[in-house]
Amino acid sequence: MSGLKERLERLRAAAKAAESAGGADPAEREEHGGSDAVPPAPPGNTGLHEAFRKLGVEEMTNDAGTFLLRRIVYPFPYRHGRYGLEELIACAPRLHPVACRQNGKTRSTSRGSRDSETADAPIPTFRGLLFLDTETTGLGVGAGNVPFMIGIGSCTEAAFVVEQGLIRDPGEERAMLTWLTGKFDGVTHLATYNGRSFDWPVLVGRFILNGWRRSGPEPGHLDFLHPSRALWKNTLPSCRLGIVEEERLGIARGPDVSGALAPELYMRYLRDGNPEHLEGVYVHNEKDVLTLAALAIHFGHLLGGGLGSAAPDPADAEERFRTGAWLERHGQPEEARRLYDSLAEEAPAASGSETGFRLALAAKYKRLGKWERAVPLWKRAAELAEKARLPRTDAHLELAIYYEHRAKDYGAALGYAEAALELVRRRLSLLRTPSQFRELKASLEKRIERLNRKLYRESFDLNAGRGRPDLTEQQAGGLPHEYA
Amino acid sequence: MNRLTGKTESMEEWLAFLRTRQDIMENVTYWHTQPARPSRTVPLPDEIHPKLKEALAAKGIGELYTHQAAAFRSVAAGRNVVTVTPTASGKTLCYNLPVLQTLLHDDSARALYLFPTKALAQDQVAELQELANWMEADIKTHTYDGDTPPTVRQAIRNAGHIVVTNPDMLHSAILPHHTKWVKLFENIRFIVIDELHAYRGVFGSHVANVIRRLKRICKFYGSSPQFLCASATIRNPREHAERLVGGPVDLNDDNGAPAGEKHLVFYNPPVVNKQLGIRRSSVLESQKLAGSLLKDGIQTIVFARSRVRVEILLTYLQELVKRELGPKSIRGYRGGYLPKLRREIERGLRNGEIRGVVSTNALELGIDIGQLQACVLNGYPGSIASTWQQSGRAGRRHGSSVTFLVASSNPLDQYLIQNPDYFLGRPPEEARIHPDNLLILLDHVKCAAYELPFEEGDTFGEEKLSDLLEFLAEEKVLHRVGTRWYWMEQGFPAHNISLRSAAQENFVIIDVTEGHRVIGEVDRFGAPTLIHEEAIYLHEGVQYQVEKLDYPEKKAYVREVNVDYFTDANLATELKVLHVDREQLEGPLLRQYGEVMVTAKPTIFKKIRLRTHENIGSGPIHLPEEELHTSGYWFSFSEEETAKRSANDMQMALLGLANVLVHLAPLHLMCDPQDIRVVPQVKAVHNKKPTIYFYDRYPGGIGLSQRLYELHDEILKEAGHLIRGCGCLSGCPACVGPIEEVGLLGKDLALSLLEGIGVRS
């Protein structure tokens, strides 16, 4: 049996040979060879590298060891994009409904019990918020994914403070985590972007790996990814933080390394010990933390009645509807209604081809019995549907039901039912396989038959000088069922 | 005989009738009868929890078989245990009893169950839940696999008492996320590994490493669970269990379960062409036997070696008995059927609605299908252990059962059918693993480092860990800080590492003459020479030409043709010896073991006219070269021995010998025939001598060649025995190969070569 080392060498040689035979990208090999040639300077803990000093980074030592800390203070007033960070002081408590929604013990409980929890849930204050954003060595929440940089932001009466912990190697992790746990004192909420399913679980995993079990209550979450999705899912190309801040918070970040590059840059630093690789990561993380604060202010204004004043009204009709729906869910029905009404007035004419929000908005008015608002929305949606390549029939159906049972205008109802049937036929012709639309087709045919009967009866009744055909209405059994 | 139904009343009656049938009995080469065995039981131990006693009583269990009691004692004494008893001997209770006993006393205790397949895991959960219900105990048992909905995963992680999963899931989902499983790992008391024998070869070597990782995680959380294993019969259960779990294990093989009388009938299809050594198709003969059993109302399982054969036999049998039984009463069963369908078939077999099933070895494992009365094996399953396991599907605790072993015409089958002593007089094969295969080991060191950093002084397997860690650090996979090594890559290592070997992949052959019809399959390594484009592929005597080979999708499209030639592909196999680890000179023979590099590339194919064998054309083959760095064993003949014959005769002799060895080696290694290769070379590259090479067909080797180095004498002796014992005149597919390949003297040349190196039988 040959020595293990020799065998490993042969393995490596074989792999290299196969690689070159396979025609690996020469540039890649070049780079690989290049980094092999220079013996990596061990990052080590021997004093602080000059490049770190230039970034304003200092060594920090605690019971668990040493790590690096960068601290930046933004004295108030400090403007970040559209908002001044000092607005956080006023805006923080208004985030209470968001905190309640995100930290309910069980999300499936009835409305009543959620209200009772709301009563106990702490109201966010500017002092109790900890903004948190981590940069990790990989993806996912597996045990081998290490946060190498932890950025936190906190707010005092006078300033916003960003602190960034960094480990020069995984051995410094304990020290950085010890520092972080110290920062949790007095914190009621972690304000993050996707922190509920990423940053926080990763950190919990790190605590466990270091043999710690957190005791006491978990901090609450204010994960701004969820409200961002609720508002901007359909109107922004993506809900990445960088897009959101640029499009909605008026922040122009300028040159920035992409967050996805951070792991690669850190690996480079580990290989050659040159802190310059990390400069971009520091800046990126710092800006992310500031943007978290700006987002908190934005949502605070929305929930504090500041829409249209402190924060601009959404220009896009779809976004306005989603904002209304979001406000409605967060206990702001008046503000929501204001948005809906403004929409209802302009939406039928609005140019957007998106039918989704019109139908949803119309459904809200239907529930309130405000037909005069619902019908124009349906009509516009129906017009759009008839032009669409893959038409939906919802608006036609609503109109057919409305005209049959509410307005008792059977002629109009028949018109919409027949148009709906035409649309269904168009859909079916696109498919080879049966779909749920076959059932819809059958029910439409039934409806058309019934309407023809009613129309016939009506003309007969009119001739006979009698009133409306109530009996037929009940026979058809449409009303109670369709409005159930 | 029941006069009303015309069906036999009992197995005994059917067998008596069979013995009178001349047409069948003349092909029976051996009839082995195992007498019935009474049960041996002991009273339930006093300390068993009263609730558990009640539940057992409700299931009709008032006492334990001796092996169940022994397992309980071992576990109570804090030891690991492996139970090795035949199918249907109450093996599951050997581990369920101690686990439930502990869970009833300690609600915080946890257990992890590992099964090689999802289907087995689901069976197990059903059984445990039934017991928990009888006990009215709140013991939560869940499967955790790819099908588990995300919504319940968290509940399972926190509150499941027994988590039932498979090694693949443990490897890629549980261990890398161990911080989410704190409750399990802090309180884990038992790790149950059933079907231990399934973890052999490459798969087993991976699983042994997954278990090393599992133990490492347990240690981190301060737990040290006991291992409760169960296995089908293998020669080395204790050694295998100890290698797999990496610690001492008690052997528990004192089977106390009763068994009825069992008949094992060796059946060799009659010869139809003596000169070419061609026998009647084993598929047709299996069909005849199974059909006869089914027509008489005997519940029967038929095992076939490939998926395609399963389908063929199924079609034949359904046709044959469709008048007597409905079409739904005979079913197929194999990988590729959907889980729902499989459950339906299993249920049907248990309650007797399904009278016959044709299966691949998918039903060899302990899936609960009840006990059938008869079993027909279409071809030797490849190992003694598998044969017993499959034939164990027939056999009730009371009453007789029968198994037919129907030989195919391949040399291994022929050898066994003519040497029943070899089969019956021999313990089943060893299950071998090689967890320290360098590539496999490195894979799992990576995964382990991802899960927890390594510390100086840690161990992981037999190799020197610090060298491995240093190597990975040089490759920038790990990062060393002081005395620790940390995972330092962006990726998630477990995603790129599959526990199951690539040799299981097959190419499907699709006949496009009329519509699309799958007619066969070829293993991955045979594909380049058998189904390259323009090749003539023979299937059941019909010629097909390959029109398109979709290499990435593993499909070959063929069309029926009628031509007067066949094709023969040249495979340029280069074998480079990289390093010699061990060697031994014995007279004219030099035997060596070491590392080899194999490159194989199909180059051209020739069109050869039938009968005249003239070369009538050729063409190139465009397929990628395959490269394999593995371990090999080879032996070379001395110059004096070589000089005794012409180069051509030497070539024929080597070829003939290699043809025999390729079939004998897997038999002795208990490996899949695809796992080991044999290459004869008249003038080997590295020493210019006539040489026969064996190599492991898995990167890095899995210990097969190493074992062959040790088994050399035994296997060569066996080879001589087989060649001499073959009834053919001068070589046939059942020994050295057909005369077209080895010439008219092939058989004698091979024998004289063996005698030249002193092998006599």
pLDDT higher for B477 or B312?
B477
More confident residue, A459 or B129: B129
All structural domains of chain A, each given as residue ranges with its CATH number in brackets, are 1-39 (no CATH), 48-303 (3.30.420.10), 326-476 (1.25.40.10)
Q: Which of residues 158-177 of B touch A (CB under 8 A)?
A: 176-177
Whether B176 sits inside 8 A of A142 (CB atoms) is yes
Asked which of A144-148, A455-459, B540-544, B750-754 is least confident by mean pLDDT, the reply is B540-544
Q: Is the pLDDT of residue B102 over 90?
A: yes
Nearest-CB residue to A140 (from B482, B492, B597)? B492
Across the interface, do B481 and A4 touch by the CB < 8 Å criterion? Answer: no
State which residue of chain A sits closest to B491, comparing Cα positions.
Answer: A138
B59-91 pLDDT per residue, tens: 889 999 999 999 999 999 999 999 998 877 888
Entry pTM: 0.79
- B497 CB within 8 Å of a chain A CB: no
Return the SS3 of A191: strand
Neighbouring C-alpha atoms within 13 Å toward the C-beta of B591: 15
B408-461, pLDDT tens digit by residue?
877 778 878 887 887 887 777 778 788 888 888 998 999 999 999 999 999 998
Confidence at residue A27, expressed as pLDDT on a 0 to 100 scale: 41
Using CB atoms and an 8 Å cut-off, which of residues 290-349 of chain B contact chain A? none
**Torsions phi, psi of A81, nearest 5?**
70, -135
Of B182, B479, B579, the CB nearest to A169: B479
Of the candidates B447, B590, B617, B626, the one whose C-alpha atom is nearest the C-alpha of residue B536 is B617
Distance CA A178, CA A163 (A): 14
User: Cβ–Cβ of B467/A137 closer than 8 Å?
Assistant: no
CB contact under 8 A, A267 and B463: no
Rounded distance between C-alpha atoms, residue B202 and residue B208, angstroms: 10
Largest CA distance in chain A: 110
Q: Residue B506 pairs with which residues in a beta bridge?
A: B523
The set of long-range contacts for B21-25, using a CB threshold of 8 Å and a minimum separation of 24, is: B24/B267, B24/B289
Question: How many Cβ atoms are within 10 Å of B460's Cβ, its own excluded?
Answer: 22
User: Per the structure block, which two tokens stand in for B479?
Assistant: 């990062």
Average pLDDT (B635-658) is 90
pLDDT score at A480? 39
Peptide bond into A77 cis (omega under 30): yes
User: Does B315 or B177 have the greater pLDDT score?
Assistant: B177
Coil, strand, or helix at residue B249? coil
- Angle, alpha carbons A319-A324-A328 (nearest 5°): 150
How far apart are alpha carbons B360 and B312 in whole angstroms?
Answer: 12
Chain B neighbors of A21, CB-CB under 8 A: 627
Residues of A in contact with B582 (CB under 8 A): 1
| Nearest in space to B106 (alpha carbons), one of B190, B230, B215 | B190
Q: What letters, b where the CB count within 10 A reaches 16 and e where it falls short, cover B286-301?
A: bbbbbbbbbbbbbbbb
In tens digits, what is the pLDDT along chain A, a chain of 484 residues?
457 888 888 777 766 665 565 444 444 433 443 333 334 444 444 578 888 998 999 999 999 999 999 999 999 999 999 999 999 999 999 999 999 989 875 333 334 444 444 446 789 999 999 999 999 998 888 899 999 999 999 999 999 999 999 999 999 999 999 999 999 988 999 999 999 999 999 999 999 998 887 666 788 999 999 999 999 988 888 889 988 998 889 898 888 888 889 999 999 999 889 999 999 999 999 999 999 999 999 999 999 888 878 888 887 778 888 898 899 889 888 888 888 887 777 755 555 556 667 778 888 888 877 888 888 888 888 877 777 777 778 888 888 888 888 878 888 888 888 888 888 887 777 765 556 667 788 888 888 888 888 888 877 766 655 444 444 444 444 443 444 3
Angle at A328 between CA A323 and CA A333, to 5 degrees: 115
Interface test with A, best of B439, B465, B479 (most A CBs within 10 A): B479
Higher pLDDT, A245 or B744: A245
Instruction: Tell me the C-alpha distance between B431 and B237, whole Å.
Output: 8
* B528 CB-contact burial (10 Å; exposed 0-12 / middle 13-18 / buried 19+): buried
Length of chain A (residues): 484
Chain B residues within 8 A of A11 when measuring between CB atoms: 438-439, 629
pLDDT over threshold 90, residue B210: yes
Chain A residues within 8 A of B439 when measuring between CB atoms: 11
CA distance A363 to A371: 10
Cβ distance B64 to B44 under 8 Å?
A: yes
The pLDDT assigned to A465 comes to 52
Question: For testing the chain B interface, which of A208, A215, A264 should be mutated: the one with the most B CBs within 10 Å?
Answer: A208
Number of neighbours of residue A311 by Cβ within 10 angstroms: 20
Asked if the C-beta of B579 comes within 8 angstroms of chain A's C-beta atoms, the answer is yes
| Contact at CB, B492 and A144, closer than 8 angstroms | yes
Distance (Å) from the alpha carbon of B683 to chain A's nearest alpha carbon: 25
Note whether B721 and B615 are within 8 A (CB): no
Q: Averaged over B347-366, what is the pLDDT?
A: 85
Residue indicated by tokens 């129906």: A382
Q: Give the residue among B617, B592, B562, B552 at the shortest CA–CA distance from B687.
A: B592
Spacing of C-alpha B585 from chain mean position: 34
Kindly write down the DSSP assignment for every residue of A36-104, as one continuous string. HHSPPPP--SSS--HHHHHTTEEEEEETTEEEEEEEEEEESS-EETTEEGGGHHHHGGGGHHHHHHHH-
Radius of gyration of chain A (CA): 31
Residues B650-662 pLDDT 10s:
999 999 999 889 8
